[in-house]
Structure 1
């Protein structure tokens, strides 16, 4: 059985990894991962037929010739291969985690750094124990930076990812009540997310810290930091939302980096994204990207995947933030929507998932916040919101709401869609 260094020598001859037998680039290596309902070993032969040069498997009987590399566990091998590859690359790695805004912040930072450097970053939200190794294995000698997003739904996961990624810099966007089923409590969320700080502290790295968040400051104590914040004369970069229409314009400056007042209009909806934008600015300045290039990068960034997206249809204006939802992100989205100057506002909310024993209480609290705002119309989607007995129009699923909208279309309104991804609120776009 080959050790990881021997497998790495093979990887160097065909440095493309795939885990999908249907998509096997020529001369790639197929890694046969096992899933809850699938066994990648069964597709290894098909992967070789479709273009892969080698297949890493963990069932000996599958290996009928020398194109098969037999290991004890394919997932462990994938992670070990990524870990070893990381040690061979010179790129500086910035790791990002947090409850809300990870993907947006990751993409903004990558966009800013790419103005000056070859930068690799996590695709989509490949931020787990499989996606992170796949991201690292895309690193090559040309990359000066890697921006790696780390997600977690239980304690210990960020620590494990750090052992693979070995980041030089870290950034935690915020702490919120999400994945409580896995973390157990808000305190569990904080403990899990700050595993990144623990790694950076132990390995003498540095962190980018929002010093407007007192809990973040406490948790990052003892680590060299570069700071940002909303309206702070103590932060290395400070800024504020100077306009929303509904996309936000940020005014910012930096005494540390000798940058006088700058203003940049973005394509991002939501004042709650201001801190994510400032994070990208401070990272750019620290790595000597000039202010003009930073502003260009931020102004050109277009949100995707139904995160903080602004859309116009024939009948309405939509704010689509339907990829993820938890109590903190939903409250921020609702309050931000309420602050916008539209004559007519419609709120469409989908259930928040993975909240554990406080699920109903969290949804009921959101309803109290909604009642304070005075929206023209509120529509709820999901069985949990239905249990709050709020009196608003409610549907068990998106299909029911689609049927309703077909017979009673909404016109002339600004509409916020906010909910967990699996609720499927993005399916409503074509009916609005």
Structure 2
């Protein structure tokens, strides 16, 4: 894309205010944090319920961005850049993408549905790429913002497009249809995802069908419910396994780990094999098969390519590597658009300043090779990559374009040489096309730990953060608690994401937690809520901010501050309003005021207290009395000391239940991690952590035989038993054993047999078709942490924070 500002003004009906109407634009951005923004970027200042892109214009101008689409021009920047003023920046972005799309006349496949969109897209890309130069949505860019950004990636060399469209509310799809303008439609599975945005399933079906108003054909599973809402003018190409009136009739026959599909289409009757046997994969594969049939591929090509379908990894994963390295695993795709996304993710999650990129040949860019690798070089330079390892014959021939580059013709040649290459104290992005088998590189560089992992969904953390931000007044600041290793979810990685989201403060319990974050490069203000007097020197050294909750603690801190000749060092005053744990009580306020009046060593940055029963509305009067006392005591401090600090008293449940007491800041804790004590609120939160393991061994025992220590389980019949490598040393309560708890294998409950051991537990899999190595879910969507806590008579905090450090954490983004 290369356009001038002058070309864009009439498209989005903008008023131009600036100095250079002929400035050239070659990229579009909505992310102020991207290092790829430049003087040829057009930044759309999108305004949403929890963010406003106008707030980052100063930072962007400082970093060299000169062109903006805005709702208004902030006064201080008038004359400093080119501004295109519109009524609504999101509408302008969508209109720009729609007009840009209209410049291209080739087939566009539009995919929607509740499930399977991304998998169908990726499989179609694999199946059709030998014959087409394809532009497709990167990752899951299927939203009101993601779709226009995807479409703006089209160039003159592409001759087929594949875009997915996702909606969660009524009246969203018409915008995406206008942008994608699909000529071929695919309606995937209709499930329960985003049901809350629609009155009923009929309304959701009607909304999704709006994507196909102008297609030449709609590919779908023949279904009477959907057909009832379908415009009869739309031409369908249908398949079915039970309705002989469908255009294609398919009979599926499962084998051990494959499925044979017998296809009857017109006068053709043939069989193909796909390497899956779960129902979702079979349906997704059939939708891809239908496209091949519609494109008139012969059955030999269909048989050959469908057999080669593969599991699609839709997530960018963050893993611990050997020698103090962090690995970002994106080892299954290599195209220009997804490289840009992966580099942004690298920047948002880097733990070390040194950044290495391991990159394979790049495919389907639509660009000639010289231009492609020149653009890749620009991306690498703008993202400040310290070292590039290029793998592949094509990319190796352009190695001189990359800084500090090592080049290898193949993955195996790199692995053979890996011991001669130093990897330490760096963040490594591993990104390669599937047939390069970069998963072997990940396995080589990854830290070796046991097979139990806690997977942390960074998208879910972002969702939950935005959910609670939506409850706040625009001026209310936000502190997020990352104490106790991020409630068991990981400290640095969560803190890095929160830094990316520009929260105002982080909260930790003890100084060593804050020091670790500072040493890892977190530059947000960090409050230490339970500082010990012995840690004050370290707190000062690492520029942490202590909570002071007693005269004794204040005196100790002032003594050290005086010895270090400090001036106005930030501290936070904790008041006890009824929790009776830590804090200045009402009778000590006068002494506190006297002490603070007599010193310039410290500055009161905030005054806070803690609610004891904000989650239990039976005690609403007590909570209101706490808020009243906080108002009284904090106001007295402010008046006597002539200060205007940040005040904060609300925790997670307080944010929801007592919005009138937001004051200047709130503290978000367990809600960030997807836990609420309110059933309705819980429905709006997303699960963050999923604890997984595998089956180590399977055995069958006879009636009367026992399992585990103390023979606490005695078989009443022949029983199939699986051993799972996770136990109470990993954080699984022994009370969860003996039939109280269960794990999930193949979507079925497997009750725990006998006692939970230190490193293992055993489960009943008599009714489950599984094998050694099969995945096991300990908690996540089912069972939930809330459910486990209720069964064990405890709270979710204890479940989450009990997960041992020896359990590997894997962070990912969809």
TM-score by length of 2: 0.39
How far apart, CA to CA, are the structure 2 residues paired with 1:345 and 1:64?
Answer: 69
- 2:270 equivalent among 214, 238, 260: 260
- 2:48 equivalent among 35, 53, 58: 35
- 1:113 equivalent among 111, 128, 138: 128
Match of 1:403 in 2: 802
Map 1:312-351 onto structure 2 (within 5 A): 344=722
- 1:154 equivalent among 156, 160, 169: 169
- Does the 8 A contact of 2:109 with 2:184 survive in 1? yes
Q: CA deviation at 1:256?
A: 3.5
Match of 2:147 in 1: 132
Tell me whether 71-80 or 60-69 shows the greater mean CA deviation: 60-69
Q: CA deviation at 1:427?
A: 5.1
Match of 2:92 in 1: 77
- 2:248 equivalent among 236, 239, 247: 236
CA gap 1:301/1:399 in 2 versus in 1, 3 angstroms: farther
Matched, 1:304 2:319: no
Matched, 1:272 2:280: yes
Map 1:4-403 onto structure 2 (within 5 A): 4=11, 13-21=24-32, 22=34, 23-24=36-37, 27-48=40-61, 50=63, 52=65, 54-60=67-73, 61=75, 62-65=77-80, 67-196=82-211, 199-200=212-213, 203=214, 205-211=216-222, 213-220=223-230, 222=232, 223-230=234-241, 234-236=246-248, 238=250, 240=252, 242-245=254-257, 248-256=258-266, 258=268, 260-265=270-275, 270-291=278-299, 293-294=301-302, 295-296=304-305, 299=308, 301-305=310-314, 344=722, 370=748, 375=765, 379-381=778-780, 385=784, 400=799, 403=802
Tell me whether 372-381 or 112-121 shows the greater mean CA deviation: 372-381
Q: CA deviation at 1:99?
A: 1.2
How far apart, CA to CA, are the structure 1 residues paired with 2:249 and 2:24?
Answer: 44
- Does the 8 A contact of 2:45 with 2:52 survive in 1? yes
How far apart, CA to CA, are the structure 2 residues paired with 1:402 and 1:288?
Answer: 56
Q: CA deviation at 1:48?
A: 4.8
CA gap 1:205/1:52 in 2 versus in 1, 3 angstroms: farther
- Unmatched runs of 5 consecutive residues or more in structure 1: 327-336, 349-365, 411-424
CA gap 1:230/1:27 in 2 versus in 1, 3 angstroms: farther
Between Structure 1 and Structure 2, whose CA radius of gyration is higher?
2
- Does the 8 A contact of 1:56 with 1:69 survive in 2? yes
Higher relative contact order (CA 8 A, sep 6+): 1
- CA RMSD across the alignment: 4.7
- Does the 8 A contact of 2:111 with 2:165 survive in 1? yes
For residue 312 of structure 2, give the secondary structure of its aligned residue in structure 1. Answer: coil
How far apart, CA to CA, are the structure 2 residues paired with 1:284 and 1:152?
Answer: 27
Q: CA deviation at 1:90?
A: 0.9
CA gap 1:185/1:204 in 2 versus in 1, 3 angstroms: closer
- Does the 8 A contact of 1:118 with 1:144 survive in 2? yes
CA gap 1:241/1:114 in 2 versus in 1, 3 angstroms: farther
CA gap 1:215/1:383 in 2 versus in 1, 3 angstroms: closer
How far apart, CA to CA, are the structure 2 residues paired with 1:299 and 1:399?
Answer: 45
For residue 132 of structure 1, give the secondary structure of its aligned residue in structure 2. Answer: helix
Spell out, residue by residue over 1:380-415, the C-alpha distance to the aligned partner (whole angstroms, 9 max, x if none). Answer: 3479946668997899769935734668x89xxxxx
Tell me whether 143-152 or 280-289 shows the greater mean CA deviation: 280-289
For residue 299 of structure 1, give the secondary structure of its aligned residue in structure 2. Answer: coil
Q: CA deviation at 1:297?
A: 6.5
Q: CA deviation at 1:296?
A: 3.0
How far apart, CA to CA, are the structure 2 residues paired with 1:29 and 1:259?
Answer: 53
Spell out, residue by residue over 1:98-145, the C-alpha distance to the aligned partner (whole angstroms, 9 max, x if none). Answer: 111122122222322222111111111111111111111111222222
CA gap 1:51/1:258 in 2 versus in 1, 3 angstroms: farther
- Unmatched runs of 5 consecutive residues or more in structure 2: 1-5, 15-20, 317-331, 333-438, 461-682, 684-693, 700-720, 727-743, 752-763, 767-775
- Does the 8 A contact of 1:96 with 1:148 survive in 2? yes
How far apart, CA to CA, are the structure 2 residues paired with 1:157 and 1:399?
Answer: 41
How far apart, CA to CA, are the structure 1 residues paired with 2:147 and 2:26?
Answer: 16
- Does the 8 A contact of 1:32 with 1:40 survive in 2? yes
How far apart, CA to CA, are the structure 1 residues paired with 2:272 and 2:456?
Answer: 27
- Does the 8 A contact of 2:61 with 2:81 survive in 1? no
Q: How many residues align?
A: 371
TM-score by length of 1: 0.68
